[in-house]
Amino acid sequence: MADDPFRSSDTLRSARPLAHARQVTFAGPLDLELGGRLPEVTVVFETYGRLSPAKDNAVLVCHALSGDSHVARHDPQDDPGWWDIAVGPGLAIDTEEYYVLCANLLGGCRGTTGPNTLNPATGRRWGADFPTITVNDMVEVQRRLIDHLGIPSLLAAVGGSLGGHQVLTLATRYPERVRGAMVLASSARLTSQALAFDVVGRNAIRRDPQFRDGQYYEDAPGPSVGLALARMLGHITYLSPQAMSEKFGADRLQPRELTTLFENRFSVGSYLAHQSDKFVERFDANSYVTLSMAMDLFDLGSTPAELADALARSRCRWLLISFSSDWLFPPAQAQELADALLALDQPVSFCNVTSDCGHDAFLLPDDLELYGGLMEGFLSALRGAPAANGGEAGHHHHPTSIFRPRRFDYDRILGLIPSGASVLDLGCGRGGLLSSLRQRGESRLLGLELDEQAILSCIQQGLQVVHGDLDQGLPAFADDQFEVVVLSQTLQAVRNVELVLADMLRVGRRAIVSFPNFAYHKLVEMLQQGRAPESPHLLRFKWYNTPNLRFLTIADFEAFCAERGIHIHQRLALDTEEGKEVHADANRLADLAIFVLAAG
Amino acid sequence: MADDPFRSSDTLRSARPLAHARQVTFAGPLDLELGGRLPEVTVVFETYGRLSPAKDNAVLVCHALSGDSHVARHDPQDDPGWWDIAVGPGLAIDTEEYYVLCANLLGGCRGTTGPNTLNPATGRRWGADFPTITVNDMVEVQRRLIDHLGIPSLLAAVGGSLGGHQVLTLATRYPERVRGAMVLASSARLTSQALAFDVVGRNAIRRDPQFRDGQYYEDAPGPSVGLALARMLGHITYLSPQAMSEKFGADRLQPRELTTLFENRFSVGSYLAHQSDKFVERFDANSYVTLSMAMDLFDLGSTPAELADALARSRCRWLLISFSSDWLFPPAQAQELADALLALDQPVSFCNVTSDCGHDAFLLPDDLELYGGLMEGFLSALRGAPAANGGEAGHHHHPTSIFRPRRFDYDRILGLIPSGASVLDLGCGRGGLLSSLRQRGESRLLGLELDEQAILSCIQQGLQVVHGDLDQGLPAFADDQFEVVVLSQTLQAVRNVELVLADMLRVGRRAIVSFPNFAYHKLVEMLQQGRAPESPHLLRFKWYNTPNLRFLTIADFEAFCAERGIHIHQRLALDTEEGKEVHADANRLADLAIFVLAAG
pLDDT of B386 > 70? The answer is no
| Mean of the per-residue pLDDT values of chain A | 92
Co-location of B413 and B363 in the same domain: no
Alpha-carbon torsion B274, B275, B276, B282, what sign?
positive
Co-location of B335 and B466 in the same domain: no
- Of all residues in chain A, the one with the smallest CA distance to B264 is A199
Contact B509, B484 (CB under 8 A): yes
| Mean of the per-residue pLDDT values of chain B | 92
Contact B478, B396 (CB under 8 A): no
Q: Which of A263, A528, A559 sits opposite B199 (nearest CB)?
A: A263
Contact B592, B556 (CB under 8 A): no
pLDDT of residue B135: 98
Alpha-carbon torsion A435, A436, A439, A440, what sign?
negative
pLDDT of B458 > 90? The answer is yes
- For residues B361, B362, B363, B368, the Cα torsion angle rounded to the nearest 10 degrees is 90
A161, A267, A292, A322: the catalytic one is: A161
Co-location of B281 and B416 in the same domain: no
Co-location of B344 and B484 in the same domain: no
pLDDT of B577 > 50? The answer is yes
pLDDT of residue B405: 52
Among the residue ranges A82-86, B7-11, B36-40, B526-530, the one predicted with the least confidence is B7-11
Angle at Cα A30 formed by Cα A29 and Cα A34, nearest 5°?
135
Of residues B600 and B39, more confidence is placed in B39
Q: How confident is the model at residue A422 (pLDDT cuts 50, 70, 90)?
A: very high
Q: Which of B193, B228, B556 sits opposite A532 (nearest CB)?
A: B556
Share of chain B above pLDDT 90, in %: 84
Give the mean model confidence (pLDDT) for residues B361-389. 90
What is the DSSP code string of B142-181?
HHHHHHHTT-SSBSEEEEETHHHHHHHHHHHHSGGGBSEE
Among the residue ranges A33-42, A334-343, B487-496, the one predicted with the least confidence is B487-496
Q: Does residue A594 lie in a domain region? A: yes
Q: Does residue A293 lie in a domain region? A: yes
Q: Does residue B55 lie in a domain region? A: yes
Q: Note if A359 is an active site residue.
A: yes
Contact A527 B560 (CB under 8 A): no
pLDDT of B11 > 60? The answer is no
pLDDT of A597 > 60? The answer is yes
Contact A577, A591 (CB under 8 A): yes
Q: How confident is the model at residue A1 (pLDDT cuts 50, 70, 90)?
A: very low
Distance CA A420, CA A411 (A): 17
Cα-trace Rg, chain A: 28
Q: Does residue B402 lie in a domain region? A: no
Range of the domain at A421: 407-598
Co-location of B181 and B241 in the same domain: yes
Contact B269 A199 (CB under 8 A): yes
pLDDT in tens, B272-316: 999 999 999 999 999 999 999 999 999 999 899 999 999 999 999
Co-location of A438 and A551 in the same domain: yes
pLDDT of B12 > 80? The answer is no
* Helical H segments across A207-261, by residue range: 224-238, 241-248
pLDDT in tens, B317-334: 999 999 999 999 999 999
A359, A396, A398, A467: the catalytic one is: A359
Facing residues of B333 across strands? none
pLDDT in tens, A227-241: 999 999 999 999 999
Co-location of A360 and A449 in the same domain: no
Q: What is the DSSP letter of A100?
A: E
Nearest to B362 by CA among B2, B64, B14: B64
Co-location of A116 and A178 in the same domain: yes
ipTM: 0.94
pLDDT of A178 > 90? The answer is yes
Contact B269 A192 (CB under 8 A): no
Of residues A27 and B511, more confidence is placed in B511
Give the mean model confidence (pLDDT) for residues B8-19. 52
Q: Does residue A393 lie in a domain region? A: no
pLDDT of B408 > 90? The answer is no
Q: Does residue A46 lie in a domain region? A: yes
Q: Does residue A200 lie in a domain region? A: yes
Minimal Cα–Cα distance from B586 to chain A, Å?
A: 10
Contact B531 A551 (CB under 8 A): no
pLDDT of A247 > 80? The answer is yes
Cα-trace Rg, chain B: 28
- Of all residues in chain A, the one with the smallest CA distance to B558 is A531
Contact A372, A366 (CB under 8 A): no
pLDDT of A402 > 50? The answer is no
Q: Does residue A399 lie in a domain region? A: no
Residue A457: which CATH number?
Answer: 3.40.50.150
Spell out a b/e string for A81-101, using b for 16 or more CB atoms within 10 Å of the CB, else e: bbbbbbbbeebbbbbebbbbb
Q: How confident is the model at residue A221 (pLDDT cuts 50, 70, 90)?
A: confident
pLDDT of residue B540: 64
pLDDT of residue B574: 94
Q: Which of B34, B195, B200, B545 to mutate to test the interface with A (most CBs of A within 10 A)?
A: B200
- For chain B, how are helix, strand and coil distributed in percent, rounded to 5? 35, 20, 45
pLDDT of A15 > 90? The answer is no
Co-location of A426 and A499 in the same domain: yes
Of residues B207 and A15, more confidence is placed in B207
Give the mean model confidence (pLDDT) for residues B448-475. 96
Co-location of B330 and B428 in the same domain: no
pLDDT of residue B534: 76
Distance CA A420, CA B312 (A): 71
A345, A366, A381 - which closes a domain: A381
What is the DSSP code string of B537-549?
TTB-S-TTT-S--
What is the DSSP code string of A522-583?
HHHHHHHTTS---BTTTB-S-TTT-S------HHHHHHHHHHTT-EEEEEEEEETTTTEE--
pLDDT of residue B391: 42
* Helical H segments across A365-446, by residue range: 368-382, 407-416, 432-439
pLDDT of residue B363: 98
Contact B200 A544 (CB under 8 A): no
pLDDT of residue A405: 52
Q: Note if A326 is an active site residue.
A: yes
Which active-site residues of B does the annotation give? Answer: 161, 326, 359
Q: Note if A395 is an active site residue.
A: no
Contact B281, B39 (CB under 8 A): no
Instruction: Compute the count of residue pairs across chains A and B with CB atoms less than 8 Å apart.
Output: 197
Residue B217: which CATH number?
Answer: 3.40.50.1820
Nearest to B106 by CA among B70, B157, B67, B142: B142
Give the mean model confidence (pLDDT) for residues A395-424. 72
pLDDT of residue A577: 83
pLDDT of residue B579: 85
Q: How confident is the model at residue A255 (pLDDT cuts 50, 70, 90)?
A: very high
Co-location of A152 and A96 in the same domain: yes
Co-location of B129 and B55 in the same domain: yes
Nearest to B452 by CA among B287, B549, B322, B265: B322
Helix (H, G, I), strand (E, B) or coil at A302: coil
pLDDT of B115 > 50? The answer is yes
- Of all residues in chain B, the one with the smallest CA distance to A303 is B250
Distance CA B62, CA B185 (A): 13
- Model pTM? 0.94
Q: What is the DSSP letter of A324?
A: T
Share of chain A above pLDDT 70, in %: 93
pLDDT in tens, A208-217: 999 999 999 9
Exposure of B164 in the CB half-sphere (CA atoms within 13 A): 24
Q: Which of B132, B227, B523, B544 to mutate to test the interface with A (most CBs of A within 10 A)?
A: B544
Q: Which of B256, B543, B585 to mutate to test the interface with A (most CBs of A within 10 A)?
A: B543
Of residues B20 and A178, more confidence is placed in A178
* Helical H segments across B325-431, by residue range: 331-343, 368-382, 407-416
Contact A508, A474 (CB under 8 A): no
pLDDT of residue A539: 54
Total count of domains within chain B = 2
